[in-house]
Amino acid sequence: MRRTKILATVGPATQRPEQLVALLDAGADAFRLNFSHGTDDEHRDILRRIHAAMRKRRREAAVVADVPGPKIRLGEIGGGSVELVAGREWTLDHRPSPGDLRRVGTQVPSFDRLARKNDPILLGDGNVELVVVRAGGSKIVTRVVNGGTVSSHAGLFLPRAKLRLSVFGRKDRHDAALGLSEGVDYLALSFVRTGSDVLGARRWLERQAGGRDVGIIAKIERAEALGSIDSILRAADGIMVARGDLGIEVPLERLALEQKMLVRRANDAGRFVIVATQMLLSMLTSPRPTRAEATDVANAVLDGADAVMLSEESAVGQYPIDAVRWLARIAEATESAFDVRGLRARGTVGPGEPERAVAAAAVELAEGVRARAIVTPTHSGRTARLVARLRPACPVVALSNSAPTRRRLALVGGVMSMPAPVHRNLLELRARAALLVERALAGGSGPIVLTAGYPVEGRPTNLVTLVDSGHGSTAPKPVRERRP
């Protein structure tokens, strides 16, 4: 079983029904839809096709709605793009007409007040750099420092400006409501600064029908988010290390260090973490990744990432299915060569944390008996996440009668989710766990460690028991039990 999950962005290259099925067959565990592009009708159609693909393959994958957030973008450019030349002036204004070699419109009111003379402005992925000559009168006159191609709707970054735009504004709420109506599992918030940004979105979700079944992924794209990462991790279900915009906001030579810090902090906090942006960028036009890209993916796995993400590679690339296959191959090869227990979350179990104590006992017991799997019945997914946080050497099998919970767990590293009805007693649960593990992990051997709420399901997880899998027997005998 591959521990590291794969999140694939759906776009023009993969939005047809047969392509979505092919992504699942290649190893995709989750789908991302970027709401920065496309219309409501297009988004609705793609989300419905994603669910149809899952039904066709009888697979449960997480669906992530990525809302655009308060990013300043350029307006339309005549012909789709323009080639800026170093030394030339280029004006940013509010005029709606298409841009050209002399000017372009933007979408943020009073943006000229954010810039001062000699401030840098970065466009797109940061390769094109401007410097402010003068600002005022609803326009910013700039000089091109580093030229290059600039496309319509490219991002515009003002590194020295303190933007105070709403992280979850009207457009984001509109997109999120559409996603909720079509059964998304996660909302990815762009340009999160603090935990309060996440809590604001959480309060909005709780007021919406179906919103309680939707998790929140905080995208770490701003330098100021690094100083608030603890509050963000407390408020979010997981984070995404969005290296594109983050690599513009922090010195490029520190980007790898910040990535490693974020992955470790997420591991310690028991939150899943996705490493994203340009994982296999060369596969936009090439059927194979570069050696550097393969190493980058492997390092994300070694650092402890729960998931790795494809952006342009699967959305608009020429080889989207191959890109998923390569991520799976690299992750599997990397996982087979190192001990995941070295990534175990730091810290001890404190008083008043019985579920964490049960999770720790389950992992300790599993390692002592070389268990085949740790089985965790769960309604919310909390127990499975607590066990997975400790990076056991064996798979974590989450049994749940909640489809939204099973789909959300598709982004948690090392967890396999399976549908199971509510059990009536412990003996029934033990028999079912052994049978389901036998089906899911055919060919393996060894006992099973089982967590449960005793005496009946619905109680907090308070028991760990060892089950002899019996090589398919539905009547395993109890070996021993622990209760904290």
Residue 105: per-residue pLDDT? 93
How many C-beta neighbours within 10 Å does residue 70 have? 17
In angstroms, what CA-CA distances link 97 with 89, 94, 132, 359? 18, 9, 22, 59
Cis omega before residue 289 (within 30°)? no
Residue 347: per-residue pLDDT? 61
Residue 473: per-residue pLDDT? 41
For the domain made up of 343-482, give the CATH fold: Pyruvate Kinase; Chain: A, domain 1 (3.40.1380)
State both tokens at 227: 């100083």
In angstroms, the CA 103 to CA 239 distance is: 37
Same fold for the domain at 5-70+166-336 and the one at 78-157? no
Residue 283 phi, psi dihedral angles, 5° rounding? -80, 5
State both tokens at 383: 């127990």
Amino acid making up residue 290: T
Residue 210: per-residue pLDDT? 86
For the domain made up of 78-157, give the CATH fold: M1 Pyruvate Kinase; Domain 3 (2.40.33)
Amino acid making up residue 163: L
- Show the CA angle centred on residue 189, arms to residues 185 and 195, nearest 5°: 110
Residue 456: per-residue pLDDT? 62
In angstroms, the CA 217 to CA 274 distance is: 9
Residue 7: per-residue pLDDT? 98
* Three-state DSSP state, 134: strand
In 251-381, the DSSP E strands lie at 272-276, 307-310, 373-377
Which stretch of DSSP H or E encloses residue 292? helix 291-303
Tens-level pLDDT at each residue, the chain (484 residues): 899 999 999 999 999 999 999 999 999 999 999 998 899 999 999 999 999 999 999 999 999 999 999 878 899 999 999 999 999 999 999 899 999 999 999 876 666 677 889 999 999 888 899 999 998 888 999 999 999 999 998 888 888 776 667 889 999 999 999 999 999 999 999 999 999 999 999 999 999 988 889 999 999 999 999 999 999 999 999 999 999 989 988 999 999 999 999 999 999 999 999 999 999 999 999 999 999 999 999 999 999 999 999 999 999 999 999 999 999 999 999 999 888 777 877 765 666 678 889 999 999 999 999 999 999 999 999 999 999 999 999 999 999 999 999 999 999 999 999 999 887 788 888 888 888 888 888 767 789 999 988 766 667 888 899 998 654 444 444 434 444 4
Which stretch of DSSP H or E encloses residue 386? helix 382-389
Among 238, 243, 294, which Cα is nearest to 411's? 238
The DSSP letter of residue 425 is: S
In angstroms, the CA 388 to CA 301 distance is: 15
DSSP β-ladder status, 463-467 and 478-482 = antiparallel
In angstroms, the CA 88 to CA 100 distance is: 13
Q: Which residues are known to be catalytic?
A: 32, 73, 219, 277
47 neighbors 180 (Cβ within 8 angstroms):
no
Query: Which CATH code is given to the segment(s) 5-70+166-336?
Result: 3.20.20.60
In angstroms, what CA-CA distances link 10 with 35, 59, 339? 11, 17, 33
| Residue ranges of domains in the chain | 5-70+166-336, 78-157, 343-482
